[in-house]
Copies of this chain bind each other. A is one copy, B any other.
Amino acid sequence: MIRVSTRPDLRDALANLRKNDAKLGFVPTMGFLHEGHASLIRHARHSCDRVVVSLFVNPKQFGPNEDLERYPRDAERDQELCRREGVDILWMPRTEDVYPPGFRTEIHVQGLSDPLCGQMRPGHFTGVATVVARLLGLVRPDRAYFGQKDFQQWRILAQMVEDLALPVEIVRCPIVREPDGLALSSRNTYLSPEDRARALSLSRALARAMSAYLAGERQTDRLLAMARRHLADLDVEYLELRDLDSLQAVSTLDTHAVLAVAARLGQTRLIDNAILAPDSPDTDLPRLLEGAFL
């Protein structure tokens, strides 16, 4: 594995990798890697010849009162994980490599950036779209991999890539969960043992709705009510059923929809979601409920 920081070093390392028309997979991350990131890397390794991982805590996607400063970092462990997973290039840029002096471009994906997390985090998705466009331009991969846990981010980036006709395929990978259901997140490290236990309500709420959906329930208000019952003890920011393509609220479940939840546990903001569709990667969620009642 080659570790690079500056843009010239990245360019040289990429030029080497790209020989013989090798397909390049790219996994952009903010570091503090966990099994979710490892799963993205494995997806990339499976469908590409070479894999590049970037590790950059992007200041533009944090609001003024958010956790940029205390966002967890562990470069040593991240490098170890990347090495173990067979990453070819680990790119750890400095801020000035991503945002050189005079950087001025901003990308906004209208409509898709406004609801859900966008409502709680103004400017967040503009920061995400902008940095990813920049990273894609510098790395120029054939495919880039994003986790479904941040499904709104994935949807926005897929739209951006389509609209700008960028020469890259955006791949969405399934959510990776702890055995008890908690969706993996670098921010889970913030949780106290008590909050860690309470956090299970998120995945259980989704599991309850998925269970009803699989049993044939298609009324959104009933699905939402079932999920909401599991969230009574939490400070819920939103619980919503949205069309997976437009992110508009849905009243009837005739297309692919996503049930998305965000909640605060102490200082920590957690999100989770499940795609309600016949071919959903989340159809095994109801097993969590069996565990919960054992």
**Which A residues have a C-beta under 8 Å from some C-beta of B?**
102-112, 129, 133-134, 137-138, 140, 159-160, 163-167, 245-246
Contact between chains at B110 and A106 (CB < 8 Å): yes
Residues of B within 8 A of A167 (CB): 137, 140
The quantity of this chain's copies bound in the complex is: 2
Contact between chains at B137 and A105 (CB < 8 Å): no
Residues of B within 8 A of A133 (CB): 164
* Contact among B110, B137, B140 with A104 in the assembled complex (CB-CB below 8 Å): B110
Contact between chains at A106 and B104 (CB < 8 Å): no
Contact between chains at A159 and B110 (CB < 8 Å): no
Can you list 17 A-B contacts with CB-CB less than 8 angstroms, sorted by A residue number? A102-B159, A103-B163, A104-B109, A104-B110, A104-B111, A105-B107, A105-B110, A105-B129, A105-B160, A105-B164, A106-B107, A106-B109, A108-B108, A133-B164, A134-B165, A137-B164, A137-B165
| A166–B168 CA distance with the chains assembled, in angstroms | 12
| A108–B133 CA distance with the chains assembled, in angstroms | 13
Contact A163 B134, CB 8 Å, known A105-B109, A109-B105, A111-B104: yes
Given A102-B245, A107-B108, 17 other A-B contacts at CB below 8 A? A104-B110, A104-B111, A104-B163, A105-B109, A105-B129, A105-B159, A105-B160, A105-B164, A106-B107, A106-B109, A107-B107, A108-B108, A134-B163, A134-B164, A134-B165, A137-B164, A137-B165
